[in-house]
Amino acid sequence: MTTARFDPVDALRGEVTPPTDKSISHRAAIFGAMAADPVRIRGYLHAADTTSTLDAMRALGAIVEVHADEVVVRGSGLREAQVPDAPIDVGNAGTLMRLLPGWLAAQPGRTYHLDGDSSIRRRPVDRIAEPLRLMGAGIEATDGRFPPFAVHGRRLHAIDYTLPVASAQVKSCVLIAGLTADGATTITEPKPSRDHTERMLAASGVTLRRTGDQLCVTNVDELLLEDLVVPGDPSSAAFWIAAGVLVRGSRIVIRATGTNWTRTGFHRIVQRMGGIVVGDLEEDPGDDVRAGEPVSDLDVAAGPLVGTTVEADEVPLAIDELPLVALLGVFAEGETVVRGAQELKLKESDRITAVVDGLRGLGASIEATDDGFVVQGTGELRGGTISSHGDHRLAMLGAVAGMASREGVTVEGMDAAAVSYPGFTDDFATLASA
């Protein structure tokens, strides 16, 4: 476990290119392995989680070539996933753990075992198990809901399924399973969630329709996917947005970042609080299912912040950035409230408890609620020590808190940042010295 110190800075200035998108990289590798022809992926994220996905695709029979500027996946096909000799190790990758069973469930007569690290073994899989069982697959999980678990592939049939909570991972799992199911599978979302899977399916020529809160996908013989380009990760860029807004005198340009409307909920929250974030942010396309991902540079600067309330319908579009909303609330005038964010308890750590305890230890006035937190803006943060609890986003939260604090912050477990942003400390050094 690596300890790192982040002292207050006078200003952050310059340009930064965040690592490419983790969510899209996972999907690109999985869809590449399911595709009929080789798929070239430019900008694939090379980090711990996404490496687990490449290793998993190799275990299932795909040939994966990693080059300096691209990854090439020669897949085994939609219905020909091989059975590995050992359990598939998903590492700490929750996206891999929840999307992959949608493909494996469609391999009749084959059984696959999935496992991961100690953190992943605390993350439930019952939300994907329920719809897959309804479609005809067999799922056996530890204590009925945790990894390690087994997927028994069978012939699947289509279902009409209403998601109990908005979840891009569960939605994606069911959509992938629907590619091989008899009939048309319909999914109803209670609220919008990330739509990277839908965009990738549209790019593959799959018949996919959206009507209001419903998605419908039909059976296909094969996937024909064009080469893919992965944009900068909005969730990684969010840490520089927060830093640029909090550290007075800062001016940061964030290059080539994805601006998909289902990923920029945090950007809109920051703008509402008074932070300056300028860029070409995509608007809600309604029922249009778009192929491809929008990209833009973002110009970020500090501004006086005011508290805000994040309601439940905003949570799915900013779920990974909500810890940063808590930090912004410390420096905002008034009260900042996040509601309807129970999903934070099911991430790499219990992020409600970890964020509240961590920021309170640094001097914040923050209280946990059953579904979020309440922050009283004081205008400053003392500093101190914070633990990442092995969670990459908490590690980087502590780093940003240190930059904006009065005394600096020591982050215990800073190496966790490598899960999604291996070059984070190098980028910080560049912006702080400009």
For this structure, is 320 an active site residue?
yes
Q: Are 83 and 132 in contact (CB under 8 A)?
A: no
Query: Among residues 18, 20, 40, which one has the least CA distance to residue 29?
Result: 40
Q: Pull the structure tokens for residue 136.
A: 């005809």
Long-range contacts of 85-90 (CB under 8 A, 24+ apart): 86/59, 87/113, 87/114, 87/115, 87/148, 88/56, 88/59, 88/60, 88/112, 88/113, 88/114, 88/115, 89/52, 89/55, 89/56, 89/115, 89/116, 90/52, 90/56, 90/114, 90/115, 90/116, 90/120, 90/147
Reported in sequence order, the residue ranges of 59-183 that DSSP labels E, i.e. its strands, are 63-66, 70-74, 88-89, 111-115, 138-142, 146-152, 160-162
Task: Determine how many CB atoms are found less than 10 A away from the CB of residue 221.
Answer: 10
Of 21, 49, 233, 320, which is the active-site residue?
A: 320
Amino acid identity for residue 100 in this structure = L
| Cα(79)–Cα(65) distance, integer angstroms | 22
Amino acid identity for residue 220 in this structure = V
- The single-letter DSSP state of residue 363 is T
Q: Are 186 and 208 in contact (CB under 8 A)?
A: no
Whether the ω angle into residue 148 lies within 30 degrees of 0, i.e. cis, is yes
- Looking up tokens 């900042």 gives 336
| Region label for 191, one of left (φ > 0), alpha (ψ between -120 and 50) or beta (otherwise) | beta
Strand partners, 73: 39, 64
What is the set of active-site residues?
A: 320
